[in-house]
């Protein structure tokens, strides 16, 4: 397969019919139309082999996850996704790998009516950069900085399972990483790591009822602190309200489970701040879509983050999540 053939092959992949894509793949740039009355929401994420996913991860999972992390950023603005641009850097043109990658990519893109509008294919160490575009009605994007003291802290999606999945994944020989595990909980954690479900489909509810939103990619505490700091408030988290903390404690002990839940990266859950009167509306909408959702704390006037666990309180100040450079 040559580069021109790859681009032709990508062009003929099935995609949604979107009248807002005036010119798609195949010119110097895409020509697009943002509907009147809407703001454009744009986010970019890079996934590098050996950094964001272990070497030997199945191509399908790489395609799924590299799109999922971008969809998660749009979900965290209350936006409706529309278009993606895909920059694919590959060590070689391997038709089987590419088929797997695009099968995973399309499995997420098609149900969400995402159009692939362009990108780039280059030779180099395996890495994927996606820029995703979506819409919000004018002025309704939900930002990090709207949390108020007294708001409930809601999580939508599981915490810590991806960190556990990574632990199990790395313990296996590289050649076996694409094959399934037998234990159902290990399997669930591996699924959380490799095929995170972005919390798309709640955009209208979140725009109406959430006062602040973020997606948890660098760990619960680090991302919660981003919301708290930019909103000028603090937060309280009740660890015992997060049921997966209990599950992980059984496998790894309480101390490590706590690390996984509060500092593990790659969760792609949403954290929402929400006035107490609106909490039920939000939880019902999340559960209707099959997402684990619950109140796990609240926002308070006092800065910093306090973790409650079995009657004990730990106070956390600075960022403490996953850092790419160490």
- Annotated binding residues for Mg(2+), as ranges? 28, 43-45, 73, 120, 215, 218
Q: Judged by CB under 8 A, which of 110, 111, 113, 123 binds a second copy?
A: 123
- Looking at residue 49, what DSSP letter applies? B
- Residue 201 lies near a second copy (rule: CB under 8 A): no
Give the nearer residue to a second copy in terms of CB position, either 127 or 166. Answer: 127
Pick out residues in 7-26 that bind a second copy (CB under 8 A): 22-23, 26
The CA distance from 96 to 8, in Å, is 16
- Looking up tokens 């002025």, which residue turns up? 139
Q: Judged by CB under 8 A, which of 52, 65, 158, 207 binds a second copy?
A: 52
Query: Which of 204, 227, 244, 246 is closest to 153 using CA atoms?
Result: 227
- CB 268, min distance to a second copy, A: 11
Query: Which of 306, 295, 276, 278 is closest to 154 using CA atoms?
Result: 295
CA distances (Å), origin 190, targets 62, 73, 179, 182, 258:
13, 21, 11, 11, 18
Pick out residues in 138-167 that bind a second copy (CB under 8 A): 138-139, 141, 143-144
- Residue 34 lies near a second copy (rule: CB under 8 A): yes
- Residue 190 lies near a second copy (rule: CB under 8 A): no
Give the nearer residue to a second copy in terms of CB position, either 122 or 284. Answer: 122
Give the nearer residue to a second copy in terms of CB position, either 160 or 321. Answer: 321
Q: Judged by CB under 8 A, which of 197, 215, 266, 267 binds a second copy?
A: 215
> How many residues are present in the chain?
326
- CB 285, min distance to a second copy, A: 19
Here the tokens at position 95 are 């038709």
- CB 31, min distance to a second copy, A: 5
Q: Near a second copy by CB under 8 A, which window of 83-91, 163-171, 186-194, 258-266?
A: 83-91
Instruction: Count the neighbouring beta carbons within 10 Å of the beta carbon of residue 302.
Output: 14
- Looking up tokens 């964001």, which residue turns up? 52
Pair 321, 265: CB distance under 8 Å: yes
Collapsing DSSP to helix, strand or coil, 5 comes out as helix
Q: Judged by CB under 8 A, which of 11, 51, 176, 301 binds a second copy?
A: 51
Q: Near a second copy by CB under 8 A, which window of 3-11, 57-65, 198-206, 242-250?
A: 3-11
Q: Near a second copy by CB under 8 A, which window of 87-95, 98-106, 243-251, 304-312?
A: 87-95
For residue 119, the surrounding DSSP H or E stretch is strand 115-123
Q: Judged by CB under 8 A, which of 119, 165, 198, 265 binds a second copy?
A: 119
Give the nearer residue to a second copy in terms of CB position, either 13 or 181. Answer: 13
The CA distance from 224 to 140, in Å, is 21
Give the nearer residue to a second copy in terms of CB position, either 72 or 278. Answer: 72
Instruction: Count the neighbouring beta carbons within 10 Å of the beta carbon of residue 265.
Output: 21
- Looking at residue 150, what DSSP letter applies? T
Q: Judged by CB under 8 A, which of 83, 245, 268, 299 binds a second copy?
A: 83
Here the tokens at position 259 are 């690390």
Residues making up the annotated binding site for ATP are: 119-120, 144, 217
Here the tokens at position 3 are 């580069």
Collapsing DSSP to helix, strand or coil, 25 comes out as strand
């Amino acid at each position: 397969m040559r580069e021109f053939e790859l681009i032709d092959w990508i062009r003929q992949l099935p995609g949604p019919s979107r009248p807002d894509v005036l010119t798609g793949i195949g010119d110097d740039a895409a020509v697009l139309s943002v509907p009147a009355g809407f703001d454009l929401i744009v986010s970019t994420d890079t996934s590098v082999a050996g950094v964001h996913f272990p070497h030997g991860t199945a191509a399908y999972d790489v395609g799924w996850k590299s799109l999922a992390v971008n969809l998660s950023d749009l979900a965290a603005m209350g936006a409706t996704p529309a278009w993606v641009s895909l920059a694919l850097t590959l060590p070689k043109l391997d038709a089987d790998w590419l088929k797997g990658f695009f099968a995973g990519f399309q499995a997420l893109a098609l149900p969400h009516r995402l159009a692939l509008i362009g990108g780039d294919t280059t030779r180099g160490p395996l890495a994927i950069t996606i820029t995703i575009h979506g819409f919000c009605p004018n002025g309704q994007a939900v930002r990090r900085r709207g949390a108020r003291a007294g708001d409930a802290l809601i999580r939508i999606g599981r915490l810590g399972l991806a960190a556990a999945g990574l632990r199990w994944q790395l313990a296996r020989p590289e050649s076996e990483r694409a094959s399934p595990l037998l234990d159902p909980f290990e399997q669930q954690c591996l699924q959380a790591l490799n095929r995170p479900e972005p919390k798309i489909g709640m955009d209208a509810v979140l725009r109406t009822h959430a006062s602040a939103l973020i997606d948890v990619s660098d760990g619960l505490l680090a991302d919660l602190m981003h919301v708290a700091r930019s909103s000028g408030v603090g937060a309280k988290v009740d660890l015992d309200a997060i049921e997966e903390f209990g599950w992980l404690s059984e496998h790894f002990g309480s101390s490590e489970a706590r690390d996984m839940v509060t500092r593990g990266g790659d969760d792609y859950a949403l954290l929402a701040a929400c006035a107490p009167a609106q909490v039920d509306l939000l939880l019902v909408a999340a559960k209707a879509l099959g997402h684990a959702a619950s109140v796990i704390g609240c926002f308070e006037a006092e800065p910093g983050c306090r973790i409650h666990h079995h009657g004990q309180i730990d106070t956390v100040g600075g960022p403490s999540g996953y850092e790419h450079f160490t």
